[in-house]
Structure 1
């Protein structure tokens, strides 16, 4: 878990907020968004506890690029089942916070929500996911596009470019050889190390600015405590999952046995009732036969076959 470089979440807390280190963050965003990103300034974001013992281990950063777009970068170490909804809430809140009352809707800011998660989020085979809004016809299946005037006015080509965009990087799921710039970044996020062969934008600056050897003894002590907390957090999550699975299996077995017993009792009761009804029909048929009724009439009354009646 301990590489030669400072982990990205710790760097966001301590180093990347310094304008001199913006190059690392700009390189990461450029690699992810596939366009040149220049950070104009950092903005106020939801406060994050500075205590290295913070069990939630969450850090966020809000930046504005040279186009006036908002970039919300969040690192989350602990599992959160409603994280998808929180992504929506956080990004939507930015839309309303960064527009002045009375301004026209054409001033709504573009928001990118970038989520670096160190836990299992959802179910999927990939490690990087991108979400955006598109409108498709329910009858024709066509994509709703902007008019030429809207393209010129908003300086975008597609409706989706006006809406929130989400990126999810599932760091713990990355277990392959890095073959692209984005995978080189995923490798660093996962291991805290940067191979000498890595050439992705920003990683060159990271090699110089995020070396562990640049940290003071006090900073290193705090950093290692942070890593210890993450290990404890992940162990707790694994333990809770294992306990939950064991409890679920035990409960399932007990419920299965109870259900089996209930089904057995029900089946036994049904078999007993069926047997009793058959014996009652035979006894009634015997009495009818003694009174001289013919077998055909007895069969009609009791439901027994002629063959069954002849054996009585």
Structure 2
């Protein structure tokens, strides 16, 4: 299986080596659009299909009509020495001041994507306004993350939208008391691809971005060909995306990139699992040793205590008071009452 997905084309384990895996470039098989190198190639190559697909995706993600745009460098400039850099899969700037960063994340790297997205959208905003310009010139910016896993949102009751699992979640700064938006300048969009299941039956009523999520999740899955065909016949932007994906899937270098990324991820997961097992085994061994030692110590203390009580009771049977017996045996008087 590839990248944790079910019922998709054969993954790396079905091939002898990377060379055999990359040979799929000439077979008509499709690359995995959830791999960042493929995702970027599908939307940014200098072809009419890629340009149309990118325009369609951006309009779906931002819910705005886009006349034209310009791709810009992926690495945002730093403001001071040592500032953490930000690199995105696709960074766009529009003629009306709107800006967007699009990022594909195939694997859960075990860090807080919420904070990461907030940091990225803030850095994106900070790159535009020049010294002396009015705040009104600050552009609207979007940070768009396509996640091939379900993100665990922190805190708060589930909204009606969350109770109806949608792959799309939109965030903006707002007043916590009543949800009134501040300025809609900073916008974050999460697309969680595993949540598309069930949306295949409502292609006509899904949002444009929900249908894009279905495409990204299953475009390379032969078992989902009928659904993808329905989508691409219904929406021109997705048809162009499919054409672009087919085109880049003839590139052997991209197949090698996909192979290396999957091998890297499998190695990473294996390392985590091995470290976890080692940690559990060590913890069990240390806990067992500690438990035995504590048990012996406790047992010895209980034995000494019982012996002292027995001795004190014998002392009482000789006519001494409980207080005198407790003092004699060096125990608490309450143990004799």
Common fold: TM-score over 0.5: yes
Contact 1:12 1:59 in 2 (8 A): no
Shift in Å at residue 81 of structure 1? 3.0
Q: Select which of 76, 97, 100 maps to 2:130.
A: 100
**Secondary structure of the structure 1 residue equivalent to 2:174:** coil
Shift in Å at residue 228 of structure 1? 1.0
| 1:135 alignment partner in structure 2 | 175
**Secondary structure of the structure 1 residue equivalent to 2:102:** strand
**Structure 1 gap segments, 5+ residues each:** 48-57, 145-157
TM-score by length of 1: 0.70
Give me the whole-angstrom Cα distance separating, in 2, the residues matched to 1:123 and 1:236.
27
Q: Flag the structure with more relative contact order, 1 or 2, with Cα contacts below 8 A and sequence separation at least 6.
A: 2
**Structure 2 gap segments, 5+ residues each:** 3-8, 10-28, 77-86, 155-164, 327-331
**1:82-136: CA deviations, max 9, x gaps?**
3524323322222221111121222222210001234564469764332221113
| 2:214 alignment partner in structure 1 | 187
Q: Select which of 46, 49, 54 maps to 1:18.
A: 46
Alignment of 1:45 onto 2:74 = yes
| 2:237 alignment partner in structure 1 | 202
> Within 5 A, what are the aligned runs for 1:50-129?
60-84=89-113, 85-118=115-148, 121-122=151-152, 127-129=167-169
| 1:246 alignment partner in structure 2 | 277
Alignment of 1:284 onto 2:298 = no
| 1:302 alignment partner in structure 2 | 325
Structure 1 stretches of 4+ with a deviation exceeding 6 A read none
Shift in Å at residue 14 of structure 1? 6.4
Work out which of the two has the higher radius of gyration on C-alpha atoms and give 1 or 2: 1
**1:176-199: CA deviations, max 9, x gaps?**
552334343223222334611003
Q: 1:6 to 1:284 in 2, by over 3 A?
A: closer
Contact 1:71 1:113 in 2 (8 A): yes
Q: 1:233 to 1:173 in 2, by over 3 A?
A: farther
Give me the whole-angstrom Cα distance separating, in 2, the residues matched to 1:270 and 1:192.
69
Q: 1:166 to 1:37 in 2, by over 3 A?
A: same
Alignment: residue pair count: 267
Q: 1:253 to 1:5 in 2, by over 3 A?
A: closer
Contact 1:79 1:119 in 2 (8 A): yes
Shift in Å at residue 171 of structure 1? 3.2
Contact 2:43 2:54 in 1 (8 A): no
**1:49-82: CA deviations, max 9, x gaps?**
xxxxxxxxx8511112353111111123454333
| 1:150 alignment partner in structure 2 | none
Give me the whole-angstrom Cα distance separating, in 2, the residues matched to 1:122 and 1:240.
23
